[in-house]
Amino acid sequence: MRLGIHLYTFGSLSGAARRAAEIGATTLQVFTASPRMWRARPPDPKEVAELNEVRKRFDLRPLVVHVNYLVNLASSDLAIREQSIRTLRGEFERASMIGAEYLVVHPGSAKGQPREEAIEAVAQGIRDAAGAAGAATLLLENTAGCGSSIGDRLEDLRAIRSRALELTSAPIGYCLDTCHLFAAGFDIVSPSGLRATLREFGATLGFEHVRVIHANDSKTPLGSRVDRHAKIGAGHIGAEPFRRLMACRQLRRVAFISETPVEREGDERRNMAMLASLAPKTVVRRTRRA
C-alpha cells in the first residue's frame, strides 16, 4: 500500500516530490498546470530530470496527475467540449513527459442531455484526447452528484470505461473519492454499510481496476450531494471508517492519497501523519530527509 497527499508544485515538480519525501509519503498527486485555467505550458526538461531523480531516490510511486477542473467531456456546449478534449490531450502529453503512472479525470456534467448521451460523449472525448497517449493510465473519478454531474453512480463509471475501451486502446481504470462516495449516498461509515459498498465496488467496477483512493473526509452529511473535503477525522465520516477501508485486503495495492485542506503551516505533515496512523501496521512508514 502506498500513502501520500496531493501537493501543489508552486512551479517546481521536483520540489513537490522532495516535500512528499520529507513528510513520509510514498506516493503523491500533483497538477501539471493551473487547475482552473485552460492555458498550460510543457514542463521544463530540467525540472523533469530532477523530479525523476527525486522519485528514484525516495521510491515515490505512483505519480498521479489530476486533470484540470475545467475539463467537461460531457458538455453539450461544442466550444467547451472541444476545449476540454484539447486540454485533456495536453494533460496526457504532460503526464507522459513527467513519467506519471496515472491521470485522474472527473467525468463531467450532463446538463441539458440524457445521462446515456453524456456517457457516450465522455467515452468519445477520451478517444479523441488519448490519441497516441503515453504510458499513463486514465482513471475515472466518482463524483458527489451535485447538479447534473455524472459519475455519482458506479454504473456510470463502468459504462464510460466499457464504451471508451471499445473506441481506444488507452488503459483506463478508476479513482474512488471517499468524500464523493459519502456525499453521493454510499454509507461507508457503518461497518455494514462499508461492507455493502465494497461488495458493490467488486461487482460493478472490479477491484483490479481501482488504482487510487482519494482519502477525504466530508464537511457535508451522507447523501448531501455536495463536494466539500474535510481533514480525515474532522468531518461527517470520521477516522475509524478510513482504518476499516484501508484494512480491506482487496485494496492493499491501491495508492491512498489525501486531498484534505491545507489551512495552516504544517497541515501537509499533519494530514500525512493522520493518514499513516490509520494504515495497517504492516505498512512501513517513516519520515525521510530529502
The confidence score (pLDDT) of residue 282 equals: 67
Q: String of b and e for 226-262 (b: at least 16 CB within 10 Å)? A: ebbbbbbbebbbeeebbebbbebeebeebbbbbbbbb
Catalytic: 259?
Answer: yes
Q: Do 175 and 213 touch, CB atoms closer than 8 A?
A: yes
Catalytic residue among 19, 94, 211, 214: 214
Catalytic: 106?
Answer: yes
Going by pLDDT thresholds of 50, 70 and 90, the confidence category of residue 131 is: confident
Length, in residues, of the chain? 290
Q: Do 38 and 70 touch, CB atoms closer than 8 A?
A: yes
Q: What are the pLDDT digits (tens) for 2-48?
A: 999 999 999 899 999 999 999 999 999 999 999 989 999 999 999 99
Strand pairing partners for 28?
5, 63
Catalytic: 217?
Answer: no
Catalytic residue among 91, 101, 128, 141: 141
Going by pLDDT thresholds of 50, 70 and 90, the confidence category of residue 287 is: very low
Catalytic residue among 53, 57, 59, 69: 69
C-alpha cell at 144: 458527489
Q: Do 119 and 160 touch, CB atoms closer than 8 A?
A: yes
Catalytic: 66?
Answer: yes
| From the candidate CATH numbers 3.20.20.150, 3.30.930.20, 3.30.1330.90, 1.10.1200.10, the one assigned to the domain spanning 2-277 | 3.20.20.150
The confidence score (pLDDT) of residue 135 equals: 75
The confidence score (pLDDT) of residue 112 equals: 85
In the chain, what are the domain boundaries?
A: 2-277
Q: What are the pLDDT digits (tens) for 212-222?
A: 999 999 999 99
